[in-house]
Amino acid sequence: MVAPGRGILAADESTGTIKKRFDKIGIDNVEANRQAYRDMLFNTPDFEKYTSGVILFEETLFQKSLSGVPFPELLASKGVIPGIKVDQGAKPLFGGGAEETITEGLDGLRERLQKYKAAGARFAKWRAVIVIGDGTPSDYAIHTNAHALARYAALCQEADIVPIVEPEVLMDADNSIEICESVTDRTLEAVFHELYLQKVLLEGIVLKPNMVVSGAKCPTQAGVQEVAERTLKILKRRVPIAVPGIAFLSGGQSDQLATAHLDAMNKIGGFTWGLTFSYGRALQAAALKAWGGSNVEAGKAAHLHRAKMNGLASLGKWDKSLEAA
């Protein structure tokens, strides 16, 4: 999952989330269009050279390609590992601060994991959301979400499914990069403490964290090198070397910026984990726009380009000049 030069495509948008993306290109959010879109992504020639796994939404896990092959089987035939999003979304956290949430989905998860494994899923993903705001995040929100992440990871390992552990500190606010660094530090400390308490084998997980960045509304935006240095500083402080790989989320960054940050970290080096990507929008936005509901070849070309750029970034071999190539 964190092989050199390869990363993970997050194609696990819920029905509601993909509707927002389809609305922008005037496509109806119906199952046939969702199937056709994912079919275009997964049938992109050579995308497997830069993609080790794909996170699927539950609907997609049980769908077939347009040629009649189940999507997990199609991916596996290309050497791409099928995975599944198993959380059921972030809900308001009673007793937490404004806009704080807790991710739900633990009820019945043991049974669902067996169903997903039978359908071909070999890894899973659970996203915890940490909000930066006035007085937030609270310790309560951080530790409650860390506990749920660890419980999910333990259940996955019980089912012989690799858990992707995703604690996301949101980048939507007006906070400085220093605040993001502090909150990310607190969050990762809590997550690894809970993973230890719940006897999760660290050698059998993939961490999917946010990068340490300035809030999207902050008037002062940190440069690429500062983001890389601050992110690595916190990861080296909090992530044990037993963890085999870290696959970053893009968190709303632009396509090229997410690539540039990943590349800068790999150019710095000095760590033992595989450092790669698990991007959703930053891998798909160009492909979705080019596809537009009908232009399959243009969509595939755009998808392959972004996958290749991020594959190079995961090796520290990307350069902005390659974007025009």
Among the listed residues 166, 168, 181, 194, the single catalytic one is: 166
* DSSP assignment string, 202-267: GGG-EE-PPP----TT-SSPPPHHHHHHHHHHHHHHHS-TT--EEEE--TT--HHHHHHHHHHHHH
Among the listed residues 125, 208, 300, 308, the single catalytic one is: 208
Residue 52's φ and ψ, nearest 5 degrees, are -95, -30
**Which residues, including other chains, have CB under 8 Å from residue 26's CB and lie 6 or more apart?**
293
Strand partners, 56: 11, 84
The 3 state secondary structure assigned to 100-132 is CEEECCCCCHHHHHHHHHHHCCCEEEEEEEECC
The owner of tokens 């972004």 is 306
Tell me, yes or no, if 91 is annotated catalytic. Answer: no
Tell me, yes or no, if 208 is annotated catalytic. Answer: yes
CA distances from 157 to 7, 23, 242, 263, 313 (A): 21, 38, 16, 31, 30
CA distances from 168 to 29, 55, 142, 198 (A): 27, 16, 11, 20
Residues with catalytic function: 166, 208
